[in-house]
Every structure is written in structure tokens, then in C-alpha cells.
Amino acid sequence: MDMGELTGKAALVTGGSRGLGAATALALADAGADVAVNYVKRRDKAEEVVEKIKAKGRCAIAIQADCTDESAVKDMVNQVKSEFGEIRILMNNSGVLTQMLLQDMSLDDWENIMASHLRSTFLVSRECLRQSMLSLRPMNGERRAAKIINMSSGIGQKGGIGGSTIVHYVTAKAGIIGFTKALAGALAPLITVNAVSPGTHPTDILGDLSEEWKQEKEKELLLGFGTVEDVADSVVFIASPKADYYTGQVLQPNGGDVMNG
């Protein structure tokens, strides 16, 4: 991506202290955005990302907030506005992963994954719209005023044997795609809503999955495991004016793991 195409725009990345979120925050900064890095527990990791962003000449802050908590989300969005002004890019990335068979799953196990992915995406999107995005107009002659980008997963489109021990996670990620498509219809034409649906990438979230699962998964991938940068580049593209004609879409940096039109 060209340097500077997001200059003057503030971005909020939830779950931005590690993995795909950290890579996305850095890539958005490379493109010129000022970035708020949300985290829940690891302030040290979030601060590492912030320092790397500042080294690129961009503004950055680390903000602690549980994105499943309505009050915390309100405070987080208000703080981002106070620091950076209006939020024009939202990357809903926060979420956790656990592994178990459905028959062994407690209601709390199920609800925790639904909250981590779906409740958080709803709450942060709603608050950014209420406090910031709905009042915006396009900058610099662009066609869109703001971009909402949601992190789904290829497994949410594919399911099958690869999802047999993560049924709750697959369900949540499929729900994010539905949320994306419906919200895109509600917010057009000034705000676009798209999803990124990665394949399997070597991040620390995979530490919760067995080595056997990872070995079998890699056999399914035409191009092998991807990098976090593969995903981050897709996010930056959607956030940029080059993607102003994309909405309700699911970009799939997954190495051919999921093929659909």
C-alpha cells in the first residue's frame, strides 16, 4: 500500500496487542493512520505495539477495555475521540478461541465465545456509530466517510471436520459475516462494512489448539499457513479509498482454503 493514503484518519483496533490485531495496527500506521490499540490484559504487549507505531511517526495510544462490557466500550470510544478526534476506521478484531467437542461444552463455554466475538463486535460498532461515525462526511474528496471492518474466519464459511472441536468459534465467526452483510445495508452509502476472513495463521491464539489439529489443518492449505501481514494488508486495502466500492464483502486471505464466489 502507498504511504500516507490513510493520513489524517484515526483507527481503533480491538484486540490490537497481539497476533493479527497487532499486525493490523502496524499496517494501518504504515499507511498513515493514527491508531488506538485496545487490549484486555497485556498492557505490556499493547505498549510494544504503540511504541512501534510511534517510531513510524504516527500517533498511538493503548486503551484497556473489555469489549464485551457496554460501559467499558463507551469509555474506550470516548477516550479515542478525545485523543484523536473522529474515528474513521474501526477494526473489530478482539476474540478468544477454545477447543472442545460440543457434547463436552458447558453453557458458559458457549456464551463466552459468543460474547468474545459477536457481543464485542456489536457493542464497539454501535458505540463508534453513535459517538462518531454517523456524523461524519467524506474527507479529501473521497466517497466514503468511515470504514467498519470485522474479523471473521475461513472456518466460519467452511466448517466441516476442521471445525469439529471448535463449533462455538465457527458459529460466532459465521455470525460476524451475517452481521457484516446486514450492517452494510443499513449504513450505505457513506459508511462501508466489510469482513476479512483469514485462513490459519501462526499467531499465539493457535497455542490453545493441539499440535495434531495444526498438522492436519496445514495439509488442507494449498499455499500453506499464511502470515499475519497477509491479513493486515487486506485490512489496509479495505480501509483505503481504493476499496470505496466494496461493502458487505468478505475478503479471504486464506491460501485457497475456502473457495467460493
CA distance 48 to 50: 5
CB neighbours (10 Å) of residue 204?
9
CB-hemisphere CA count at 13 Å for 248? 10
Residue 167 CA to residue 174 CA, distance in Å, equals 11
Determine the Cα–Cα distance for residues 93 and 258; give it in Å rounded to an integer: 20
Query: How long is the chain?
Result: 261
The answer to whether the beta carbons of residues 127 and 73 sit under 8 Å apart is: yes
The secondary structure of 48-90 as a DSSP string is: HHHHHHHHTT--EEEEE--TT-HHHHHHHHHHHHHHHSSEEEE
Q: Which of 39, 169, 245, 246 is catalytic?
A: 169
* CA 79 – CA 221 distance, rounded (Å): 41
Contact criterion met (CB below 8 Å) for 12 and 80: yes
Q: Is 169 a catalytic residue?
A: yes
CB 98 within 8 A of CB 113: yes
Q: Which helix (H) or strand (E) holds 147?
A: strand 146-151
Active-site residues, by number, are 169
